[in-house]
Structure 1
Amino acid sequence: MTASISLQRYKVLLAGIFSQLLCVGVARFAYTPLLPVMQGDGLLNDAEGGWLAAFNYAGYMLGAVLAASTGSLALKDKLYRAGLLLAVVTTLGMALTESVWLWALLRFLAGLSSSASMLLASGLILHWLIEHKRRRELGIHFAGLGLGIVLAALAVEGLLSLSIDWRGQWLWLTALGALLVVPAWRWLPSPKKPAASAAPRPATTRPVSMIFLRLMVPAYFCAGYGYVVNATFLVTIVEREPLLAGTGNWAFALVGLSAALTVVIWDFVARRLGYLGALGLAMAIQVVGIWLPLWSTSLAALLLSAVLYGGTFLGCVCLVLTMAGRLYPDNPARLMGQLTLAYGAAQIIAPAVTGTLAEAVGDYRLGLWLAGALVALGAVILLILKRVDHTAQGLDAEARAL
């Protein structure tokens, strides 16, 4: 029986990874390496490319709100499976039209589907692990986000080498997505219905000060702004450098690989510096990663930028998720709802602003300066929070005691 449960545990964790490959890699992030391809064919300008990304993140934010407000495991399971199908359908839809308005709708729905793998799947997997008395290894699940970026970058690069146009690329990605649905669907069991006699446990929370919320929310907004600019425009920025043309997809793949490999490392950093200290350090490093292409356009600077950015953005998200779980063990969505709204608002605003600025001035430099400055501001806010707030100090002390 133990061996059987152990095997099923690996399948459950792999189901989460496959859901990330589909909903985040194919449906969400394939747009990043395909943006310069579609722009090269005259289908989108910089402003339109930014607005399509903004619609995508608006869909994700709506999905995050729905996930946080849904208490029924059975409903979460149904929404998760609907999200898998939606990821495939929206990817196919991108190939079937040249209307910017229809693309905007499809990107919105694709963002909605990505919340199925990021939030719904993580909750269902965590429930299964707790129910079967297994370690809560969600770091493995979130590593799938980085692997999804790698998959998207390599898939588009491979299809480009075969001279397949933008429409054909979306069609091939649809076929890939249809394959990924199978393990993502079959290997994550539907949750069992709770016993009728099971009494709900009283919620356990820890007091969170108002100053913690008032500073943490804008800090996380800043983190979201910096994350989404590179996530959306990195390949386009690289491809517009004459000496770096052809390396954009490889840089994006390096971002995903760095994210997948470093997501667990930030837990160990938190044990030395505390959660707020680790989060502030990650954001400070991310500033360097965002601004490096402004200081140098060499290949070495590009690769280092990709590593620094990829190695920090997912760590920031996981650290905040961990803090929410520590403060509200029975209902982390209580805090994550407020933080996700801030992070999501930044993801909607940043691509639209960055794309509009690029269209106005002719390049992405001003957008990168702004993104890095906001992330730096977020790191400073966290430093202040560490010094003045008892909730933050208690979290850091708890992390160092682990």
Structure 2
Amino acid sequence: MTDAAAQSHSRVLLIGFAGALAMACSQGFGRFLYTPVLPGMISDLSLKASDAGLIAAGNFAGYLLGAILAAYGWANGREKLVALGGMLATGLLLLAMAMTRAVEVFILIRFLAGMASALAMIFTSQIVIGHATAAGREDVQSLHFAGVGVGIAVSSLLVFVIGSLLHGEGASWQAEWIVGAVFVFIAFVFVARVLPSGPPRTAVATVEPPIRWRMPLVLLTIAYGLFGFGYVITATFLITIVRMADAGALVECLAWFITGSASAISLYIWRPVAKLTGHRWTFVMALAIEVVGVLASVLLPPVVGALFGGLLFGLTFMVVTAYGLQLGRQFSPHSPRRVFSFMTAAFGIGQITGPLVGGWVAQFTGNFTLPTILAATALGIAMLLMVPVARMRD
């Protein structure tokens, strides 16, 4: 390897690491820190399950709006500026969560945080994936998306350490939001220095034709929306389920840490499976395993259910997310941006509806068993819809 090639190799790897940090902040902290912090908020603020669902739905509604806004061309040439703005806003909004005790304000903050995390994720991904693709480095793309799981794992450790230091005092949830914001601000400095100004400018922009809605794409889009509904109930309430079972702070930490760690390596683990069976069957198998993990979180004994359920959930939700979008591009190769927008909308509707339904049903029944069964049912229907698609020949 020449010196120039070695420098290029190192540079792309560094870009991937910056992308992973940005994903850890915008997704692992910006979206999913709410999960381990929520039990403390419920305890100290006497939040109802329906309130917790509303706060979560506010975040996902903001994420959907941010994703839709990002689909237009207003940010061309400003990708880094928008990505960094989303990161900085994420940190400030995490900080803001510690400054109020009003449910209505929490909903507004999480809505804005959803928009910020979407913009940071989408435009950072455009930059990182653009440079990784130009360099032929698929491993850098995997590194970039592994940041989501890393952020989840780190957030679980931070929440555990803070809770231990404060001995479970009622205000510990506020400190957890503040420390999450500090993590984002520190990472922001590194990402701002390393991230390139934008993706490589090699392609000529063209107007995409309308989507041709053939049956595989229709079934995939419906399945993707059901996946959004099914995954998000566990993603939002897993640690609350553990807290209600009195499994202990260590199990709460381990459950979310295992979820994040499994998510970080999931794309690497599933890559050989995808090469052997194809993306369609991989999508089906990942959904099937996720059904088992979701059900395990409430049907097995608390400790085993939390750890085993978290493991299977972490191993699958990023895989279903990523491979679903790849399948959308395969089914409509001439309109990839339009497909991304439609699938994101379907996913977003499910993701908004999930915590609303889950929170309301949990409040009515007194626990999260029925909401989790509903989530698993949605995931199972999504899997069944995709079986005939997987059997189709192109």
Instruction: Check whether TM > 0.5.
Output: yes
C-alpha contact 2:54 2:355 (8 A) present in aligned 1: yes
Q: Which amino acid aligns with 1:76?
A: E
**Which is further off, 226-235 or 63-72?**
63-72
Q: Are residues 302 and 43 of structure 1, via their aligned partners in 2, closer, same or farther at CA, if it must alter by over 3 Å?
A: closer
Shift of 1:48: 0.6
Q: Which amino acid aligns with 2:364?
A: A
Partner of 1:241: 245
1:36 alignment partner, one of 39, 48, 58: 39
In structure 1, list runs of 5 or more residues that go unmatched: 395-402
Partner of 2:390: 386
The number of equivalent residue pairs is 386
Q: Which amino acid aligns with 1:60?
A: Y
Q: Are residues 192 and 244 of structure 1, via their aligned partners in 2, closer, same or farther at CA, if it must alter by over 3 Å?
A: closer
Q: Are residues 192 and 259 of structure 1, via their aligned partners in 2, closer, same or farther at CA, if it must alter by over 3 Å?
A: closer
Q: Does 1:200 align with 2:207?
A: no
2:27, 2:239 → 1: CA distance?
Answer: 17
SS at match of 1:74: coil
Q: Which amino acid aligns with 2:341?
A: G
Q: Are residues 386 and 26 of structure 1, via their aligned partners in 2, closer, same or farther at CA, if it must alter by over 3 Å?
A: closer
1:30-109 matches, cutoff 5 A: 30-70=33-73, 72-109=75-112
2:162, 2:348 → 1: CA distance?
Answer: 31
Q: Are residues 276 and 208 of structure 1, via their aligned partners in 2, closer, same or farther at CA, if it must alter by over 3 Å?
A: farther
Partner of 1:400: none
Q: Are residues 191 and 353 of structure 1, via their aligned partners in 2, closer, same or farther at CA, if it must alter by over 3 Å?
A: same
1:324, 1:181 → 2: CA distance?
Answer: 32
Partner of 2:131: 128
**Which is further off, 171-180 or 356-365?**
171-180
C-alpha contact 2:126 2:199 (8 A) present in aligned 1: no
Partner of 1:176: 183
1:4 alignment partner, one of 3, 7, 32: 7
SS at match of 1:28: coil
Q: Which amino acid aligns with 2:327?
A: M
1:2-401 matches, cutoff 5 A: 2-70=5-73, 72-131=75-134, 133-136=135-138, 137-163=140-166, 165-191=172-198, 194=201, 200=204, 209-244=213-248, 246-327=250-331, 332-387=336-391, 389=392, 393-394=393-394
Identity, % of aligned pairs? 30
Q: Are residues 71 and 267 of structure 1, via their aligned partners in 2, closer, same or farther at CA, if it must alter by over 3 Å?
A: farther
2:142, 2:255 → 1: CA distance?
Answer: 23
C-alpha contact 1:226 1:371 (8 A) present in aligned 2: yes
2:247, 2:46 → 1: CA distance?
Answer: 25
Q: Deviations over 1:122-149 (max 9, x none)?
A: 1111222344x34243121111111111
Q: Deviations over 1:31-70 (max 9, x none)?
A: 1111000111025221111110001111111111122223
RMSD: 2.3
In structure 2, list runs of 5 or more residues that go unmatched: none
1:15, 1:238 → 2: CA distance?
Answer: 33
Normalised by the length of structure 1, the TM-score is 0.89
Q: Which amino acid aligns with 1:142?
A: F
Normalised by the length of structure 2, the TM-score is 0.91
2:362, 2:147 → 1: CA distance?
Answer: 31
1:289, 1:309 → 2: CA distance?
Answer: 5
1:199, 1:51 → 2: CA distance?
Answer: 42
